[in-house]
A and B are shown apart, each in its own frame.
Chain A
Amino acid sequence: MLDAAPYYCSAFGIKILSDLDLGAIPAGEPPEVIFRVGTVPSALEQPLFSGVLFQARPGSFLLKLDNIGRYLVTGGNQIDIEPAVSAHAATVRLFLLGSPLAALLYQRDLLPLHASAVLTPKGAVILAGASGSGKSTLAAALHLRGYPVLSDEICAVTVGESFSVLPAFPSLMLWEDAVEALDLTGQQLKRVRPGIQKFSLPLRDSFYRTPAPIHRIYVIESSFHADLDVTPLTGLFKIRALANAGYHPNIARSMNLRERYFAQMTALGATVSAALLSRPERVSPSQVADLLEKDFAA
C-alpha cells in the first residue's frame, strides 16, 4: 500500500478512511468513518448550542477556528474538514484529533475521557485529569518502565457488558519541560504544531493495539498541600470526580447527550475502581510513577 492519501487506518477500534495522515495504525477496508477534506458551512442550521468556537445539535458538531480550519462532525460516521488557506497541515491535524474526534466518539456512544492509559499486568490503568495535571508525562514515565501505552489525551472507553479502553494513536504528546524531565531529548520527536513547544513521541512496538479491560482509574489533581498520595474514591466523590474526567463534557451536552453521559459515567463508577492522585507541583514524574506502580500492583 502506498503511503499517500487516502489513508486506511484505525483508531479507537474504528476503521477510518482519511484524506489526512492521522498518524494512526494502518487498517483494511471497509471503513466505518470517513474524514474528508472539502467545504464546511460556516454555521449549523438551528443549532441547539452556539458558543464562541462551536455550534452543535443532536448528531452534528461544528468547530470553527480562525486561520486553522472548520470541522463538521455528523452522524457518528463522518468528519468534513475545511483547512484555512494559510493553515499548516500539522495544526489542522492537531485540532482535528481534539474536540471533533471527541464529538465523533460521543456520537458513536463511546465515552471519551480526558486521559492517558497504559497497560499493566492487571489491566488498563487510566490517568485522568485536567490539562497540565501531568497525565501524558506520567504515561511517558510508565512507558519508559516498560508498560505499553493504549492512549494519550483522549481515552475512549466502552461502556456495556465490559468496560475497556480502546487503543488510540501510537504516540504520546509531551511539552518541552516533560521531554527534559524524562531525559527524552535525543529521541525522534516531532513538533505537534509550528511555534508550540509540544512534541509527539512515536511509540512503535510499545503501543498496545488491542482493547484492554480497565483495572483502575486515577484522577490526578494538582495539590497545594505538601504530600503526594493516593486515596480511593467512593460514593458521591467518585461520581463527581469521574463526571469531571470526561473529554470536554460540554461537547456531549451540546448534542443533547448529557443524560447518556451521566448514565455511562455512573455505570463506569459502579463497576471500576477509582482513586484520587494528589500531587504537589514540585514532585518529579518518576516519584509519581513509583507510587503508582506500587498502588496498581497491590
Chain B
Amino acid sequence: MSKIAWLASYPKSGNTWFRVFLTNFSRNTVTPASINALNTSAISSSRSVFDSALSIESADLSAEEMDRLRPPVYREIAHRASETLFVKIHDAYHSAAPSESLIPSDASLGVVYLVRNPLDVSISLADHMGWSLDRTIDSMNSDDTALASNPSRLASHLRQRLLSWSNHVMSWIDQSQIPVHVVRYEDLHEYPCETFMKAVKFLGLAEDADRVSRAVSLSAFNVLRQQEEQEGFRERSPKAQLFFRSGVRDRWRTVLTGEQIHRVVRDHGAMMRRLGYLEP
C-alpha cells in the first residue's frame, strides 16, 4: 500500500524537465538517464493503464464515464504499489462526479505544481499542438480546452480537461484536499539547485545537496536536446519537430505581437500578478 505524488502542470510548463531531474536524482549515477526511460510515469491518462486495471476496452466508454472511473483506478494503483509513485498529470483538478474529485486525496501524497509564464507557455503549446499563436491564446482562455478530446479516433490517452490557464493554476494551488508545493519554471532556470532542493524536501526524499547538484547537471537542457536529436523522444507530439526546443525563458518578448501579449495579460493578469509574472 503506497501513495501517489502528483507532478501536475498545464502542458509545456516544465513537467518533463522536472521528471528528468527526479529520474536522475533517484538513479544517483554519473551518466544521464535516457529521456525515453524516465522512471516517473504518465499513467494518469494512459489508456493502456486503465484498460489493464479495468479489464475492459475503456475506449468504448464516454469521456464522462471514464472520468468517474479514474478515482477508483488511482486508488487501486496506489494500493498495489510498493513505493511512492511519481505521476505526471495535465488535467485540471476538477470533479469526476458530483461527490468526488478526479484525484482521490486518500491515495495522494502531495502535488508538485509546475507553473510557467503563460506568455511563454503559449509559444511552446502552439508548436506542440500545431496551432497558430492566436488559436492557442484563445484556447488558453477557454474552460472547454482539453487534451485527447477528438471523439473520432481511439486516442492512446484519456481526455484531459485543462480549463483555462488561470483556472488550471487555481484549481490546483487553491484546493485544500492534497498538500501542494508550487515550482516556477523560471526558478528552475535561475536557481536550479535551490528550487529542486525545496521540491525534494517537500516530497520527503533524501535532502542531499551534492546529489541534487549532480542531478541538475545531468538534466541540463543541452543534454536533453542532444539525446532527443540522437534517439528521438517518445513523448514528442507528432506535430512538433522537437520536444526540447529552446529551453530559454522570456521568448515571448521577441515572438508575440503587442496585441497577443495584451490578450494574455487581459485574460490572465490576476493570476500572473499572483505568481510574480507581472508587476503588482
Chain A residues in contact with chain B, CB under 8 A? Answer: 51-54, 63, 65-67, 94-95, 98-99, 130-132, 153, 175-178, 180, 192-193, 195-198, 222, 224-226, 248, 250-251, 254, 281-282
Query: B134-161 vs A: 1/0 string, CB under 8 Å?
Result: 0000000000000000011111100000
Given A131-B51, A195-B62, A224-B236, A175–B154 Cβ distance below 8 Å?
A: yes
Q: Could you list 16 further interchain pairs (A-B, Cβ under 8 angstroms) beyond the known A94-B60, A198-B154?
A: A51-B53, A51-B76, A52-B69, A67-B65, A98-B56, A130-B48, A131-B48, A131-B154, A132-B155, A132-B156, A177-B153, A178-B153, A195-B62, A196-B60, A197-B152, A226-B232
- Taken together as a complex, chains A and B put the C-alpha atoms of A192 and B52 apart, in Å, by 22
Query: B43-73 vs A: 1/0 string, CB under 8 Å?
Result: 0000110011111111110100100110011
Tell me whether B62 and A51 are in contact (CB under 8 A): no
Tell me whether B152 and A53 are in contact (CB under 8 A): no
Tell me whether B55 and A99 are in contact (CB under 8 A): yes
Shortest 7 CB-CB contacts between residues of A and residues of B: A176-B152, A177-B153, A132-B154, A248-B55, A224-B234, A52-B72, A197-B152
The interface residues of chain A lying within 8 Å CB-to-CB of B65 are 66-67
B233 at interface (Cβ–Cβ under 8 A)?
A: yes
Given A52-B72, A175-B153, A248–B51 Cβ distance below 8 Å?
A: yes
Tell me whether B152 and A193 are in contact (CB under 8 A): no
The interface residues of chain A lying within 8 Å CB-to-CB of B233 are 224
By size class, the interface of chain B is 20 to 34
The interface residues of chain B lying within 8 Å CB-to-CB of A224 are 232-234, 236
Given A130-B48, A224-B233, A281-B238, A95–B56 Cβ distance below 8 Å?
A: yes
Chain B residues in contact with chain A, CB under 8 A? Answer: 47-48, 51-60, 62, 65, 68-69, 72-73, 76, 151-156, 232-234, 236, 238
Q: Closest CB-CB distance, B232 to chain A, in whole Å? A: 5
